[in-house]
Structure 1
Amino acid sequence: MAPETSSAPGASSLTSQASDEKPSAPPVNVLPSLIARIYSIAHPALLLALGATRFEALVADPTKELLSTLPWLTIVQIFYVIVCLSPAGSTPSTETSASAPADGKSSPRPSGSGGAARHVKYGKRKQNANSWARIWSRLLPALLSLSLTFALATPVLAVILVLFGAPLTTHNLETVLCAAHMAVLSATALIYAHGADRAVWNEVWGIARPVDAVWGGALGTALGAWFGAIPIPLDWDRPWQAFPITILVGAYIGYAVGSLLARTPLVYGKSVKFTSEVSETEKKTN
């Protein structure tokens, strides 16, 4: 008589949940080109230099300085995402293959000096057309990500700043401008690299993204701003303690440190795992 087999209670539900669980999107890599690798290292240093040179003006008149430096920060961030990152839905291999002929074959070289000259001119025109196509394929997503940054990320961060203690009835313009700087630092590259992928944004809000330069910069901005708020209530009577100077300085430093540290083998590709007690108990019983 054959032995009866029975499945453990809840095994089918666990199997279905495991099959429905979507794997995490891989970490974002910097493009392999030489200029991308160089600028991805120089970019955080450039932002820190911008903040250091304008620090005295920021202390003297925060509102005016935040307004005047926001366009420069925007240009620097747009240049960074275009040069160093692939837009959402594309990979470096697909961008490279876009410049190759569609059939994978090179066009025949005409014989004769006149034919060779025409071939060179045609090749240059085609190369220029492919270059403009690649630039446009990155510029359009960059502009869209910037629009979403100002339209969505800035108001959200402004509300978060107020919830964490920013003045509600005063310094409203300073709060919005501080949120705009933080949004351009943290959200522009995230939106550019991930688009509207719901699974990725669930990981972002759950602090569960695999570490890369994009996520490291965003997380570093948030942590830096949080640590930057510590000196504000201290009884030091320094002019640089005024809101939101230290928060903004901390955000810039946090972005630079986070984006560089996230590319090191120590933390790259790793993520924080939050496991509930129920799942831990199920693992022990199984």
Structure 2
Amino acid sequence: MASTTSSPTVNTATMSQPPAEKPSAPPVNILPSQLARIYSFVHPALLLTLAASRFEAVVANPVQELLNDLPWLALLQLFFVILCVPPAGSLETASSGDNEEKKKASPRSPSAPRPGKSGHRRKQASGKNVWAGLWARLMPALLSVTLTTFIATPVLAALLVLFGAPLTTHNAETVLCAAHMAVLSASSLVYVHGTDGSVWKEVWGIARPADAVWGGALGTGLGAWFGAIPIPLDWDRPWQTFPITILAGAYIGYAAGSLISRTPFVYGKRVQFVPEVIEEDDKKTN
């Protein structure tokens, strides 16, 4: 009788436990291929070169030049995500790349069949797999840019207005500035994390672990913030007009954030707003 009466209490205890929280997505690794690692360092330099080469033209005619430069920016971001980072749902490929290379480097077992006439078929199959893998990366890349254009751009435009951008004038400049910032920061995040709600809560809470994708997004926001400082200064320079310095700061911040976040001292760490000493004191008092 004792065993029969104790079983319902165990079941109710297990049912009353809250559901386990979904673990946070790990930091994103650059793909292990040599091309991905090289281009991941070349990409920020290309973006800075684009911004620097078109700076005088942007100062002379901001709306026209920002509109002309936007497709080139989107194309560079497409190359980056396709070549350097895994798409949503395949984050494990970056961490397991080294294991796969070790398996390929291991000596062949004697029982394995030697390539004969079937070698041509294997080459054809591998070629098809390459094109299939490329297409599997191209589609989410195009989707990430599309979602960025139609969703992230209006959100960032509203944030620019809330932070002081003119509301009744310079509307085209505000939208184009938001579009450039969105493609810089959000396209890679959408490609890597998709629509995972837990990840986007960490993004808006500035709680993501540092990696190349999150570092570039955070650097874009901080760079745009600091880039707005010269606008109200009374220097009477043509490049002080809105939104030139904001975009210059966003490009510089993206390049710096994506590179700094990959260093061993920063990679995988989170921004902490509360010092650890205060947290330890709270634990002792409790």
TM-score interval w.r.t. the shorter chain? 0.7 to 0.9
Q: Which residue number corresponds to residue 132 of structure 1?
A: 131
Q: Which residue number corresponds to residue 26 of structure 2?
A: 26
The verdict on how the C-alpha distance between 1:94 and 1:123 changes in structure 2, with shifts beyond 3 A counting, is farther
Report SS of the residue matched to 1:270.
coil
Q: Which residue number corresponds to residue 9 of structure 2?
A: none
Q: Is the 8 A contact 1:95 1:134 kept in 2?
A: no
Q: Which residue number corresponds to residue 78 of structure 1?
A: 78
Report SS of the residue matched to 1:20.
coil
Deviations 1:118-157 (A, max 9, x none): x343222111100011101111111111111011100000
Report the AA paired with residue 244 of structure 2: I
Q: Which residue number corresponds to residue 223 of structure 2?
A: 224
Q: Percent identity?
A: 65
Listed as ranges, the matches of 1:169-248 within 5 Å are: 169-248=168-247
Deviations 1:211-256 (A, max 9, x none): 1000000000000001000000100000000110000000000000
Deviations 1:183-207 (A, max 9, x none): 0000000011111111111110000
Q: Is the 8 A contact 2:29 2:94 kept in 1?
A: no
Counterparts of 2:160 and 2:88 in 1: how far apart (Å)? 29
The verdict on how the C-alpha distance between 1:230 and 1:53 changes in structure 2, with shifts beyond 3 A counting, is same
After the TM superposition, list the runs of 4 or more consecutive aligned residues in structure 1 that deviate by more than 6 angstroms. Answer: 93-97, 105-108, 278-282
Counterparts of 1:205 and 1:142 in 2: how far apart (Å)? 22
Q: Which residue number corresponds to residue 268 of structure 1?
A: 267
How many residue pairs get aligned? The number is 258
The verdict on how the C-alpha distance between 1:72 and 1:95 changes in structure 2, with shifts beyond 3 A counting, is farther
Taking structure 2 as the reference length, the TM-score comes to: 0.83
Counterparts of 1:185 and 1:108 in 2: how far apart (Å)? 48
Tell me how large the CA RMSD over aligned residues is.
2.6
Query: 2:30 aligned with 1:42, yes or no?
Result: no
Q: Which residue number corresponds to residue 6 of structure 1?
A: none
Q: Which residue number corresponds to residue 7 of structure 1?
A: none
Deviations 1:143-179 (A, max 9, x none): 1111110111000000000001111011101100000
Counterparts of 1:109 and 1:21 in 2: how far apart (Å)? 49
Q: Which residue number corresponds to residue 249 of structure 1?
A: 248
